[in-house]
Structure 1
Amino acid sequence: MGKQKQGQGDNVIMFPGLVARLVEKGMSALKEKKHYDALRYFQQSTELEPSHPQARYGLVITNIELNRLDEAKKHCESMLKEGIGQYYEVLQVYVSLLVQLGDYDEVVTILETVMAEDKLPPDMAESFYQLLEFSRQMTSETSSPVPDEEEPADQFSTPEEWIETLERGDPNQQLGALKKLSQVNTARVVEAYRTFLKDKQNDPVLKSYVLQMMKDMNITGSFEVHKFGDTYSIQISELEDVFHERFGNEVARIVEDRLGQESPGLVEMVMQVWWHYLFAIYPKSPVPLDASLWAAALHHLGTELLMESDGEMLEAEETAALYGVKEDELRAAAAHIRSIETHLFQS
């Protein structure tokens, strides 16, 4: 029998070593600076084993690398409250995040309380004292209100600056600019989207975000899109839902019916891969539109990831038979999902 999935009902079976494998993959992706891949692996790990300390700490570090400081802060807070991980190591990261976020009063309150208890590890004491002193200084300097006219301007204060960030920033900065531009619907902004969509260097997932945003803003017209080495024209008004919801849900239902009872952890993992894949290839649809084929491909990919056995040929053949599809088509579908996952965020 396999392990039971922690934190959930009895008799839920997982692949042995699944969480450890996912955490290991997350750490490898983090070291290779594939931060979105790392985030996905750590999220999958914590969904299966919420109290896994390395997975939870991995979420903190990955969100910091992605400049999602508020998210990283929330993960630190929950780890401290739940007593997960090395307390002072997590506390040090948490306090550093508070400093970066400008919450100096909270830093002073926390560190004065900890130091009053005289429990600081010797190798961390100096760092904590420096953070406390710095925060005290910042608190005293900011105690007087700053006149409105002296307040610093927003980093992206005008649509032109947001457009410039969209053209020249990294993917995280571009996403921030897009969120701001979603509040503006002018000919200049639409042209910026047009340029962004056909630029070969821009992130495919961000292009999906742009297309869905344009559809939601009721922007119309023909646009050229470049994704994964292919360039094509689309009409915004004719776009489907970004997740191809009906077809996507049909595939999800088949996978759930086949694996839901015996391997819920595997279902959870491959469904994240599936929705990520659909978002990435948008506005195109999976080819062919055969729900059983894509369900079989996901089953095969999940087994391959978890087992990495030498009997891959036999496993693929058996999986194809289980879903009533051709083995060569299964392999082609699985290879396409894998190639898209590999391509994403490489730049």
Structure 2
Amino acid sequence: MAEQQGRRVIPFPGLKDRLVERGLDMLQNQENVEAISLLEQALEIDENDVAAGTSLAVAYYENNQWSESADLCRRMLQEGSGEYDELVELYVMNLIQLRRFDEISSFIQPLLEENEIQPEKAARLKSLIDLGKQQKEIKESEDESFHSFQLQKDLEQQMIQAAALAKQNIRPVKDDIITEIEKDETHPFVKTLLLNILREQGIADETVVCKWNKEISVSPSELMEPFDQELYQKAAALLSNESDQPQLAEIAAELLQKHAFLLYPFSWRIDSAEIISKAYLKLASEYMGEEEAFTGFDHKELLEEIRRLEKVEMV
């Protein structure tokens, strides 16, 4: 048994080439995760395969795995394998995405000092250094100008502000954002927007959220996405299976989603997806003109909660 375990597994003839070919097809179809899996298998069979290595580095880059792509490019350049110019450019593009701008010059400058480098290649390397410098200046400018945050008074403007934050590195102003979340007067919808941005950018700072006469201290980075919460998922699934009244179910699902976002990071006070889905079907019926939709509905606490959520003014 020990002897069998020590034997090297011999792959089927041509397996590596088929994995590379299939991986390239996946990469061209922008199925990056599948491409990575296939190309990693090919590289395990032959770690020196140039096509597998280069294609995997590209797949990593396309899948936003810039560290993995940069490491692979660096290794191949050190080993002298692969298309040199292509790997250099891909390596620099990874450094830009990683915002490691200083490394670009320190990597390229020694290459420029080689006496035998071709003029056109030298020009391209210099342009990559310039690109790195430009990106560094942009980042520094952003960091200098983005040093404070305060919500405007108009709700519509607040939502625009929150949308803009989602596209920036919020770490310079994370304390200001937390302050806005913790204010009683901040709109519950805006609180959710800001809290979700903290979550998406991995901010772990303690944040006290007060909503709907509830208070909780959370670490945003540890929160679920608003619509990944189990109770919402179950209620939404029940509504999606409501085949008898599809139009009514669609309206109910939209209302359920809106309220889930307003409640976040809290959920409904009643822990029953069946009762919640029925309540939103009744609310949808009310929207469609049925005045007595909630007649006989016994869950007064949930009804009061829904009414309170419906009274929230939106833009």
TM-score normalised by L of structure 2: 0.49
Instruction: Name the structure, 1 or 2, with higher relative contact order (CA <8 Å, separation 6+).
Output: 1
Instruction: Say which one has the larger Rg.
Output: 2
